A and B are shown apart, each in its own frame.
Chain A
Amino acid sequence: MKRYDLIVIGAGLAGLMAARTAVEMGARVLIAGGGMGALTLFGNTIDVLGRIPPGEDIAEGMSGFIDSFPEHPYARTGWEGVEKALDAFQELFPPPYHFSGVTRGNCLLPTGAGTMRPTFLIPATMASGVGMMPASTLVVGFRGFKDFQAETVSLHLRCRGAVIPFPRYRMGGMTAPAIARLMEDHSFVERLGEEIYQRMEGERFIGLPAFFGLREPVAAMKTLEAATGARVFEISILPPSIPGMRIYNRFHERLLQRGTAFLMGTPVSEAIVKDGRCRGIIVKNAPLGAGYQADRFILATGRFLGGGLWAGIERIVEPLFHVPVAQPSRRGEWFKGRFFDPEAHPVSQAGVETAADLRPLNEKGGIFLENLWAAGSILAHHQSIEEKSREGIDIATGYMAARQALAS
């Protein structure tokens, strides 16, 4: 049986980042994921800490934040840890499809609900959305593509909106992945550009749903810009997320090139633990079960959606290792009375507590297993949805967990 230096459980952004970091350090890595994680559902831009107002220096904002929330995952990595991890992330995305920040702080991007949303690093295809001026912007949606409602976006952004039929196909019921494939066809994109040009009234910016293809989105954008004479940008839409899939694909490609083994589709069903160490994992792919061994393990299985946490009627558990989960004392306290309470629901803060080196803790506050680290949203004491910190936490803790694990 092949033995790995590191097995990463979970193929979301945290797991991918951990695997990539370990591979760069020369480790033999296996990554085992049930699915592709929240990344391919909502990953668009890279949030670090959206609650820091744009214009404020992010380094300063982060150190203030870490001081106020000493249990937050960022308190483990520190701002330096986040910065280094983000550099490593950005290295994976050389131009044309690169990620960049506009300043040393957050910027605001329009969303599929027509709100403005703060974020830190944005892909090239969304960059023009930052400087967008409502009075000279046209937002274009497509008849039959229901996951982006151009009229809602334009109503709230106070710009002009148009809903047009898809060129050539003129049919409804299209999904973003299907359209993304069409967008890889140059002549289709040209037609699309012409149709949009027909609708323009001198606008200088064009907002479109984020479906500019998986492989060469910047080329599609350039084609549209040539046809319309305007700056074109993508706007995030209901899941799944094409920009998120681009990130996944890039990691996947690079990791495969470096010999990382991927085990996708079936969740890890069991962990073999002996004498305070994890010895291996079992993936049951009925009727067979296969075992995999490694010296170190990283748990990056996400929250409820990813399967990293599971809520019974009364208690929340971590189903694979049964790592203790910090949580409210009873279900009556899991949620706030209002959905849009400015504070996160207490259940969102539930998760795995770790030592300073990201190793999960047992009930007594000791190390749970000698060779197990945790990364990503499964960690306790963050409010990634409200804070807008999902990708930042994934990237920074994935990076740190891998370095810690390989240093041992």
Chain B
Amino acid sequence: MDYKTEVVIIGGGATGAGIARDLALRGIPSILVERGDFTSGASGRNQGLLHSGARYAVYDPEAARECVAENRILRHIAPHCIEPTGGLFVSLPEDGFEFRGEFIRACENAGIETVSLSPREALALEPGINPLLIGAVQVPDGAIDPFTLVVENIRDAESRGAVVFTHTEATGFLRDGDGVAGVVVRDLLEKKEFTISASWVINAAGAWANRILALAGLSIPMSLSKGSMLITNTRLSQRVLNRCRPPASGDIIVPNSTVSILGTTSLRVDAVESFEVLPEEAAFLVYELSLLVPEIKSERFIRAYAGVRPLIRSGETDDDRSLSRGFSLIDHQKENGISGLVTIAGGKLITCRLMAEKTVDFLCEKMGLRAPCTTAEQRLPGAGIGRSLQDRLLHMRREIPAARQEILCDCELVPRDEVEAVLKEGKVRELRDILHRTRIAKGTCQGGFCVYRLLGMLNELRRERNRGDSNEILMDFLEERWRGIRPILWGTALKEEELIESIYKGLFNLSGELSGGQEAGERGRR
């Protein structure tokens, strides 16, 4: 079936989701297409820092001011996606005090509140910090849960009439003379092609922006930088910890519910899908950040992952088209004489609402529509519902009678009922979609135990039956899990990996070679 709408959005990351919501709130019909599931791009592969702006204060005051404003707005519209942890910029002896003075002044100018702390005060707040520190500055940094943020934006947009297709890739443009009149898309699971005609197409494909533009013979000057991060098994600090020095690689630790995220590296890459974390990147992060928190040397890690940042080369862009140095909104009519196509790229997770506002403002102006943006005031649907482990425990105790309580994921305490509720919503198209929407497989064992159980449950509900071999799904999951844990396998993590290998390759015999050749056994093969 082919579709027709006003605006097509390509990309279901934070930017695309924010645009869908903004359009819906202003009453403009839209269809969003996302090649994977939501947050399969940078929005699911970042450090989850709710910037106070401090990190940019010295070198990019404009970006800092944007962060200050958006930080405030997000605390209002999405409190359930945020943990207002606060943050410290820690000076180690090798950092000296030179940067610190400049830093405090710059924060002041950008409107970021700072409190200077003595080493003793800082250690009282965060006993894990390197005791050799010479001082610290407190700022209002925080942690943000990008998954919930994106999914909630989508939910809100859908409830207001937006249409969303996941696992659907934009593969070409519908043309109308010199202009673009919609997109050709492909449902990757059903393997079916269809078209969506629209007055406007918004390219919100993040690092993939040039892949989309190539379909129209266009490109923008953009380079790609990979950033790798490590997740610890325990939460190392209550607050975000930064080194108080010019921003560099391996200088920030962001707490996130029960874990901490160490980041990041920065490596130029050619391919957008450069998600492999090299062993030396893992070693680098451990070494650098153990200077900030010494116990990192003996910490157990549960996963490594990487995201790709699209860097828009500002030297080659006109000043007037970048609304901010943080992100760019490109009108391809003005730029290349192709009407009906807009690219929005760059920015941060936490400026995505602003990016959406600017994009939709631009469209409204072109359409001659006077509809003000309300995304800064209207709260997300889930605002007011907790998300922490304690909240889940409370919820479980309240909602689920003890006798029926079956926990699928022991690390993160995900009850079977929660998964059934997600399935009932009807949005789930593959295993990974369930994993995105619950905490399953996010804990210490990274799904080593619970995915077997989850698949069993799906088989029981006959959902996967017509999808064929559930062991193939299991093996694909374990392959993907492997990419995340391979870089951090030493110490206790390696020890526990022996357990997982013994189960799946040993006990269950899901491996490459197999003797026998009985039909049932045959199916365990790749």
**Chain A residues within 8 Å of B, Cβ to Cβ:** 38, 41-42, 44, 50-54, 106, 108, 110-118, 134, 141, 143-144, 146-147, 149-152, 155-158, 163, 170-173, 236, 238-239, 303-305, 307, 310-314, 331-332, 334-335, 338-343, 347-348, 384-386, 388, 390
Complex interface: stretch among B199-207, B356-364, B502-510:
B502-510
- With A38-B502, A116-B516, A385-B506 in contact, is A151–B460 under 8 Å at CB? yes
- Interface contact A147-B453, CB-CB below 8 Å: yes
With a cutoff of 8 Å between Cβ atoms, the chain A residues found around residue B475 in the complex are 340
Q: Distance (Å) between the CB of B506 and the closest chain A CB?
A: 4
Per the bound structure, the CA–CA distance linking A17 and B494 in Å amounts to 27
Asked if B486 lies at the interface with its beta carbon under 8 angstroms from chain A, I say yes
Asked if B465 lies at the interface with its beta carbon under 8 angstroms from chain A, I say yes
Per the bound structure, the CA–CA distance linking A134 and B521 in Å amounts to 12
Binary per-residue interface labels of chain B (282-295) against chain A in the complex, 1 for a CB within 8 Å, 0 otherwise = 01001000000000
- Interface contact B456-A152, CB-CB below 8 Å: yes
Q: Distance (Å) between the CB of B66 and the closest chain A CB?
A: 39
- Interface contact B526-A146, CB-CB below 8 Å: no
Per the bound structure, the CA–CA distance linking A156 and B471 in Å amounts to 8
Asked if B489 lies at the interface with its beta carbon under 8 angstroms from chain A, I say yes
Per the bound structure, the CA–CA distance linking A315 and B137 in Å amounts to 38
- Interface contact B286-A236, CB-CB below 8 Å: no
Q: Distance (Å) between the CB of A392 and the closest chain B CB?
A: 13
Q: A144-B406, A151-B456 are in contact. List 16 more A-B contacts (CB 8 A).
A: A112-B508, A113-B452, A113-B474, A115-B510, A116-B521, A117-B508, A146-B406, A149-B452, A152-B470, A156-B469, A156-B471, A236-B507, A311-B489, A312-B491, A339-B479, A348-B501
With a cutoff of 8 Å between Cβ atoms, the chain B residues found around residue A38 in the complex are 502
Q: Distance (Å) between the CB of B520 and the closest chain A CB?
A: 5
- Interface contact A111-B490, CB-CB below 8 Å: no
Asked if B26 lies at the interface with its beta carbon under 8 angstroms from chain A, I say no
With a cutoff of 8 Å between Cβ atoms, the chain A residues found around residue B494 in the complex are 304, 311, 347
With a cutoff of 8 Å between Cβ atoms, the chain B residues found around residue A338 in the complex are 479, 482
- Interface contact A155-B513, CB-CB below 8 Å: no
- Interface contact B515-A340, CB-CB below 8 Å: no
Q: Point out the residue from B404, B405, B509, B512 that lies within 8 Å of A117, measured CB to CB.
A: B509
- Interface contact B459-A152, CB-CB below 8 Å: yes
With a cutoff of 8 Å between Cβ atoms, the chain A residues found around residue B495 in the complex are 304-305, 307, 311
- Interface contact B511-A342, CB-CB below 8 Å: yes
Per the bound structure, the CA–CA distance linking A146 and B455 in Å amounts to 11
Per the bound structure, the CA–CA distance linking A347 and B312 in Å amounts to 42
- Interface contact A305-B498, CB-CB below 8 Å: yes
- Interface contact B456-A114, CB-CB below 8 Å: no
- Interface contact A149-B455, CB-CB below 8 Å: yes
With a cutoff of 8 Å between Cβ atoms, the chain B residues found around residue A113 in the complex are 452, 471, 474, 504, 508-510, 524
Per the bound structure, the CA–CA distance linking A165 and B182 in Å amounts to 54
Interface secondary structure of B, over-half rule: helix
- With A42-B506, A149-B452, A149-B453 in contact, is A54–B499 under 8 Å at CB? no
Residue of chain A at shortest CB distance from B488: A313
Offer 7 A-B interface pairs, CB within 8 angstroms, sorted by A: A53-B517, A54-B515, A114-B471, A149-B452, A151-B460, A239-B503, A338-B482
With a cutoff of 8 Å between Cβ atoms, the chain A residues found around residue B342 in the complex are none
Asked if B165 lies at the interface with its beta carbon under 8 angstroms from chain A, I say no
Q: Distance (Å) between the CB of A377 and the closest chain B CB?
A: 9
Q: Distance (Å) between the CB of A283 and the closest chain B CB?
A: 21
- Interface contact B459-A151, CB-CB below 8 Å: yes
Q: Point out the residue from B404, B453, B505, B518 that lies within 8 Å of A385, measured CB to CB.
A: B505
Asked if B115 lies at the interface with its beta carbon under 8 angstroms from chain A, I say no
- Interface contact B286-A42, CB-CB below 8 Å: no
Per the bound structure, the CA–CA distance linking A342 and B502 in Å amounts to 14
- With A106-B515, A238-B449, A305-B498 in contact, is A313–B490 under 8 Å at CB? yes
Asked if B1 lies at the interface with its beta carbon under 8 angstroms from chain A, I say no
Per the bound structure, the CA–CA distance linking A37 and B481 in Å amounts to 26
- Interface contact A111-B279, CB-CB below 8 Å: no
With a cutoff of 8 Å between Cβ atoms, the chain B residues found around residue A163 in the complex are 460
Per the bound structure, the CA–CA distance linking A241 and B280 in Å amounts to 38
Most-contacted residue by chain A among B453, B489, B498, B513 (CB, 10 A): B498
- Interface contact B513-A388, CB-CB below 8 Å: no
Q: Point out the residue from B286, B515, B521 that lies within 8 Å of A115, measured CB to CB.
A: B521
A-B CB proximity, top 5 nearest: A149-B456, A342-B512, A116-B521, A115-B524, A339-B482
- Interface contact A339-B478, CB-CB below 8 Å: yes
With a cutoff of 8 Å between Cβ atoms, the chain B residues found around residue A386 in the complex are 505, 511, 513
- Interface contact B459-A149, CB-CB below 8 Å: yes
With a cutoff of 8 Å between Cβ atoms, the chain B residues found around residue A173 in the complex are 405-407
- With A239-B499, A311-B494, A340-B478 in contact, is A156–B449 under 8 Å at CB? no
With a cutoff of 8 Å between Cβ atoms, the chain A residues found around residue B330 in the complex are none
Q: Distance (Å) between the CB of A31 and the closest chain B CB?
A: 22
Residue of chain A at shortest CB distance from B276: A337
Per the bound structure, the CA–CA distance linking A245 and B331 in Å amounts to 69
Q: Distance (Å) between the CB of B470 and the closest chain A CB?
A: 6
Asked if B367 lies at the interface with its beta carbon under 8 angstroms from chain A, I say no
Q: Point out the residue from A52, A118, A335 that lies within 8 Å of B486, measured CB to CB.
A: A335
Asked if B124 lies at the interface with its beta carbon under 8 angstroms from chain A, I say no
Per the bound structure, the CA–CA distance linking A71 and B519 in Å amounts to 34
- Interface contact B460-A340, CB-CB below 8 Å: no
With a cutoff of 8 Å between Cβ atoms, the chain A residues found around residue B490 in the complex are 311-313, 331
With a cutoff of 8 Å between Cβ atoms, the chain B residues found around residue A156 in the complex are 469-471, 520, 523-524
With a cutoff of 8 Å between Cβ atoms, the chain B residues found around residue A171 in the complex are 403
